[in-house]
């Protein structure tokens, strides 16, 4: 796994090993950043369920002003910190070991971009969607990775489903505030 482009282009990132791990594939990562390419520069990025942190690191490499990484697993938090150090992006980042839903409920920050990719089939994506609006700027974009078989709501508060993109067995769904929907 590598950083695709930007200031950390080509740097290898560590990833977790094991059957419980499902990192975002390079193809899907490229697709996500193609979708949001004009909305990254100077923006605040939330990498919820961060895993290795590759999505937030890619956003920082492409010019996001800051990124916050949340994961409940100590091993994930340690890898995110090492990957940030490897890419020399740690000054623009904050990493928290926390339950993602509890973090959303208590967070006092706002974000312009949020990437949600929880373990599949756990109900965590719907729970995160139920709590994400309160931490998003009005012009923000929520990006979800899920299996194509999972139905996601048309609305999350005042945010509306913008588009769904299918990549094999994976679906990327984007939401934005109704005032900004195309």
Non-local (6+) Cβ contacts of 83 within 8 A are 13, 14, 52, 53, 54, 57
Q: 147 lies in a domain?
A: yes
Instruction: Report pLDDT for 160.
Output: 94
Gap between the Cα atoms of 75 and 52, Å rounded: 9
Q: How many CB atoms lie within 10 A of CB 72?
A: 16
Is residue 9 included in any domain, yes or no?
A: no
C-beta of residue 174 within 8 angstroms of C-beta of residue 166: no
* pLDDT-above-70 percentage for the chain: 95
Q: What is the pLDDT of residue 4?
A: 86
Residue range 145-161, pLDDT digits in tens:
999 999 999 999 999 99
Helix, strand, coil percentages (3-state) for the chain, rounded to 5, are 35, 30, 35
Say if residue 147 is exposed, middle or buried (CB neighbours under 10 Å; 0-12, 13-18, 19+). exposed
Q: Supply the range of the domain harboring residue 66.
A: 27-180
Q: Structural domain tally of the chain? A: 1
In a domain, 5, yes or no: no
Q: Is residue 155 part of a domain?
A: yes
Where residue 141 sits, what CATH number does that domain have?
A: 3.40.50.150
Q: Is residue 6 included in any domain, yes or no?
A: no
pLDDT at 140 over 60: yes
The candidate with the shortest Cα–Cα distance to 142, out of 165, 181, 112, is 112
Q: Of 29-33, 98-102, 138-142, 178-182, where does mean pLDDT reach its minimum?
A: 178-182
For residues 119 and 125, what is the distance between their CA atoms, to the nearest angstrom?
Answer: 8
Model confidence, pTM:
0.93
Q: Is 182's pLDDT higher than 70?
A: no
Asked if residue 70 belongs to a domain, the reply is yes
Q: Find residue 147's DSSP bridge partners.
A: 170
Q: 148 in a domain, yes or no?
A: yes
Q: Which helix (H) or strand (E) holds 31?
A: helix 26-35
């Amino acid at each position: 796994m590598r950083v695709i482009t930007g200031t950390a282009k080509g740097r290898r990132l560590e990833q977790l090993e094991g059957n419980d791990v499902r990192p975002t594939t390079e193809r899907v990562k490229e697709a996500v950043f193609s979708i949001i390419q004009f909305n990254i520069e100077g923006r605040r990025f939330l990498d919820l369920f961060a895993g290795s942190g590759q999505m937030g690191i890619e956003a920082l490499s492409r010019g996001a002003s800051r990124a916050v990484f949340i994961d409940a697993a100590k091993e994930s938090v340690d890898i995110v910190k090492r990957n940030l150090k490897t890419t020399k992006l740690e000054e623009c980042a904050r990493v928290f070991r926390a339950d993602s839903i509890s973090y959303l409920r208590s967070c006092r920050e706002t974000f312009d971009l949020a990437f949600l990719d929880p373990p599949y089939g756990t109900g965590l994506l719907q729970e995160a969607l139920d709590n994400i609006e309160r931490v998003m700027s009005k012009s923000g974009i929520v990006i979800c990775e899920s299996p194509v078989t999972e139905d996601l709501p048309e609305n999350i508060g005042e945010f509306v489903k913008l588009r769904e993109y299918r990549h094999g067995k994976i679906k990327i769904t984007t939401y934005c505030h109704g005032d900004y929907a195309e």
